[in-house]
Amino acid sequence: MEKIHLPKELYDRLNLSEDEEIEVVALEADSFTIRKVNVTKTDRAATWFILPTIIASLIFIAFAFFLEHPHVIPLSGNESIATAVIIIANAIGMFTFIGAYYKRRQDFYRQMGKRIFWRTFATVVFSVLLILVLSTIAFFWFLGQIFYGVNFGLFTSTLIFGIFSGIINYLMIFVVDTFSINVMVNMLLMVSIGGLVSSMATNGDQYWWQRNFSLLGTQASHSSWQFNLTLIVSAALFAALVDYIFVSLRQKIGTHLRQSILQVLLTLCAISIGLVGLIPNNGGWMHVAHDVVAQLIVFFMGLSILGIRWFLPQATRNLYRMSYLIVGLIFLSYLLWHPIHYLTLTAFEILSFSLSFAWLLLLVNSLINMLWNDQKLYRVGLNPQTKVTKKKEKENNKG
């Protein structure tokens, strides 16, 4: 096997020892990625999902006999395959995820530190649970519309249930094996956008948009729990993401007052978003409290965006330009709503939310780049044996 010589900092970064193997994977014609080879690592997702799938299938059969529906089981409904997947398969899948996530804790300690791992543990678990439940509900609702009223026997029902349970358990282990900071960002996207869109689709009132966005979380909506839970989990996930990034940033560049103030503002913004979900706009004191915390979101977010150049003087100019552009667009949408009355309140709320969410993602991406996208120059040199080989190749080509 050919030997490669790396600078000491790369040895330390990859936690390598002498004569340990690494793999170089080609990404494009002129770029590669270098990573450590773990000879003990196997594709756990391809092997360890079988046991929880069998356990879930046995529970499904037991419940079929307990509910006295062993011969005919509908695809959708209260006592159906869909309900069994949403409750039983998802529950077993979450135990699989928690077990695999905990088992890999030593690897995550090296990525994010022990303190950050335990700080974000509950938030990550609840976020995965919410994504899993919403996804399976939406999928089986779609299947129920296509195969309306279809029923299956016990064997076929168990087979269908086992297939979905196996897919869920496989995905849970796969998510753990590929978990990173980018996965947390993607989870934030999926929870926030998926939860809000599904709340709009299932709220029970097609004309909800004629009032305001907060109607989705009130007693007037059939999916108020879904809307409010989405806000709460999104807020918790965003707060954990902010905490993770800024603690890592302090470890790299040291403690700075400006970054600490920005972290506090973003955390207070996340807390306010969670309070909006905890205090629905149902009237009375809840209406007043809901409006206050909603205004606090605007206040904390506004301070963060307007002061971004002071908070992060080492950030790119693109972040500054986009921040001021977003502020201008939010202000323009406000003018179109209140004095001009061109936009409805719901349209203004959706535009403001979309622009603010886009800025948060832009900020998170900028902070991630500050943490991990370091660029360092090295001078290329060939070892003596390679020089001799290349010299012979040139002589042969001339001959």
For the stretch 137-163, pLDDT in tens is 878 888 888 888 888 888 888 999 999
Most confident among 50-64, 170-184, 329-343, 383-397 (mean pLDDT): 50-64
pLDDT top residue among 206 and 283 = 283
Domain limits, the chain:
1-41, 43-179, 209-376
Q: How much is the pTM?
A: 0.69
What gap in Å lies between CA 112 and CA 93, rounded to an integer?
Answer: 24
Topology (CATH) of 1-41: Pemi-like Protein 1; Chain: D (2.10.260)
146-153 contact pairs (CB < 8 A, 24+)? 147/75, 149/74, 150/74, 150/75, 151/72, 151/73, 151/74, 151/75, 152/72, 152/73, 152/74, 152/75, 152/81, 153/71, 153/72, 153/73
pLDDT of residue 40: 46
Range with lowest mean pLDDT among 3-17, 278-292, 377-391: 377-391
Radius of gyration of the chain, Cα coordinates, nearest whole angstrom: 26
pLDDT top residue among 215 and 250 = 250
Query: What mean pLDDT is predicted for residues 43-50?
Result: 67
Compute the C-alpha angle 133/137/138, nearest 5°: 120
Given a cut of 80, whether residue 207 has pLDDT beyond it is no
Helices (H), the chain: 8-14, 50-66, 81-84, 90-103, 105-112, 114-146, 154-177, 181-189, 195-202, 224-253, 257-278, 285-306, 308-311, 317-337, 345-372, 384-398
Range with lowest mean pLDDT among 147-151, 161-165, 238-242, 384-388: 384-388
List the beta bridge partners of residue 152: 73
Range with lowest mean pLDDT among 64-78, 144-158, 168-182, 201-215: 201-215
pLDDT band per the 50, 70, 90 thresholds, residue 315? confident
pLDDT band per the 50, 70, 90 thresholds, residue 42? very low
